[in-house]
A = this chain, B = another copy of it.
Amino acid sequence: MSIDKDLFKLKPIAYTTMADQVENHLREYIIKRSIKPGDPIPKETEIAQALGVSRNVVREALSRLRMLGMIESRKKRGMILTQPDVMKGLELIIHPTILDENVRKQLFELRLVLEVGLGDLLFRRKTEEHLKKLDAIVEREHKATTQIERIRCEVDFHSTLYEMAGNETLKRFQDILMPVFEYVVEYESKLDHTSVGSVTHADLVKILYSNNAEAYPNAMRKHLMPHLDHL
């Protein structure tokens, strides 16, 4: 009685719930009608009736979009489309403890890639205040006595770079990724942070003071070399 098994090869029928479908319908609706932030979208009951599903299902779909910051709802006023924070979705998922080792490693690589490539944004947007801030961090680092303090300087230094880049999305990206890297801290704590590689933080600042954008990428590469070698 064994039935041809080939029939079942495709078995895992991508099962979509009503809520999934409603969600997709809403996305399409928003896109096709080119609804803009601030514009209202139909009432829950209207959607439910239009799609022939229970209000319950509609609410599940809306709840998802609301979580992503795509819509906001006020009682009576109904719901309006909002300009979502593009990095919101990332923030909702990324929590160090539920990420597997492999992904964390990939995110760390991503960070290295970003920092090496950051140069042009930095040179175009650096200000006196930023450079002074970096100076201060470098000095704090030199005076630091404890390892904890040194690591804090390390984090501050690199965070300041992202700030200097003047790209809100990029900064946000970094802020979200940051906690993931804490697992690296143990390893890092064994290194000398003022000069992770042969290029020190002070060296990097010096380059930033200059207008030599060409020098930046390879300087940062050398600074991060111990990490890069670890790939």
A109 interface hit (Cβ, 8 Å) = yes
Interface of A is mostly: helix
The range of chain A's interface size is 35 or more
- A107's closest neighbor in chain B, by CB? B169
Mark each residue of chain A from 37 to 74: 1 if its CB lies under 8 Å from any CB of chain B, else 0: 10000000000000000001001110110011110000
Q: How many angstroms between the C-alpha atoms of A175 and B130 in the bound complex?
A: 33
Contact of A67 among B34, B64, B231 (CB under 8 A): B64
* Chain B residues whose C-beta falls within 8 Å of the C-beta of A95 in the assembled complex: 27, 31
A141 interface hit (Cβ, 8 Å) = no
Contacting B at CB under 8 A, from A16-39, are 19, 23, 27, 30-31, 34, 37
Can you report 23 residue pairs joining A to B where beta carbons are below 8 Å apart? A19-B63, A23-B67, A31-B95, A31-B97, A37-B100, A56-B56, A56-B59, A60-B63, A68-B92, A86-B99, A90-B90, A103-B169, A106-B167, A110-B173, A112-B120, A113-B118, A113-B120, A116-B119, A117-B118, A124-B231, A213-B221, A217-B217, A218-B218
Supply 14 further A-B pairs (C-beta < 8 A) apart from A109-B121, A217-B217. A23-B67, A37-B100, A64-B64, A64-B67, A69-B93, A70-B93, A83-B100, A84-B98, A106-B170, A113-B117, A114-B114, A116-B120, A119-B217, A120-B228
Residues of A in contact with B (beta carbons under 8 Å apart)? 19, 23, 27, 30-31, 34, 37, 56, 59-61, 63-64, 67-70, 81, 83-95, 97-100, 103, 106-107, 109-110, 112-121, 124, 165, 167-170, 173, 213-214, 217-218, 221, 228, 231
